[in-house]
Amino acid sequence: MADVVAEAAAESAATAHALPRIVLATHNRHKVEEFQAIVAATRPDLMVVAYDGPEPVEDGVTFAENALIKARAAAEHTGLPALADDSGICVDVLGGAPGVFSAYWAGHAKDAAANLDLLLDQLSDIRDPHRTAQFVSTIALVVPGDASREGVVEGVWPGRLAAAPAGEGGFGYDPIFIPDGQEQGAERTVGEWTAYEKNAASHRSRAFEALAPLLADL
């Protein structure tokens, strides 16, 4: 029996190794896991692998510019087709901020808890219905040696911000984001959603749906 299990494991590993690989240009473990789950649900023939190279300087002023910067760097470093996600929370009453500065809102330490606390403090006097916001994900695809294959797509997830965090799931601003479309009186923050629920509805899954045609021949 042990031999059968070992053979099955070896066959599974060999099959996975044979799949076409695409690198995700991030060192954020949560993003890697989220992308792997999203891709596995729609393109099980592709293997998303983590990026282990240097981080480029993200000096773009839009999500699209930063996504392309990261995807180009990962494609050049690994020689693999590369995906990069640049995403953030855009709060209407703040004119779309934090936006591209979401990960650094409380400083360059990228302290997620500090970012969330600062944003809540800035909105402390703002009441519904003026706490509307959107999660935005922009995904760039870069294929090494083929500039014509570069592409950028966007996914937007509308909702509003809670007055206090709720839930232990997700990461970043998830514990204060209440997506639109939930039953009134039973609304939950994304921090209270399961990973399956989030991956089926999130801004990243919406962007990945738009990306599908660009991945068709990988």
Please give the annotated binding residues for substrate, written as ranges: 26-31, 87, 171-174, 198, 203-204
Active site residues: 86
How far is the C-alpha of 12 from the C-alpha of 1, rounded, in Å? 17
3-state secondary structure (DSSP) of residue 199: helix
**Comparing C-alpha atoms, which of 126, 196, 207 is closest to residue 160?**
126
Residues 165/143, Cβ–Cβ less than 8 Å? no
Detail the residues annotated as belonging to a binding site for Mg(2+).
86
Detail the residues annotated as belonging to a binding site.
26-31, 86-87, 171-174, 198, 203-204
How far is the C-alpha of 192 from the C-alpha of 198, rounded, in Å? 10
**Comparing C-alpha atoms, which of 154, 117, 123, 162 is closest to residue 138?**
154
Task: Tell me how far apart the terminal alpha carbons of the chain are, to the nearest angstrom.
Answer: 38
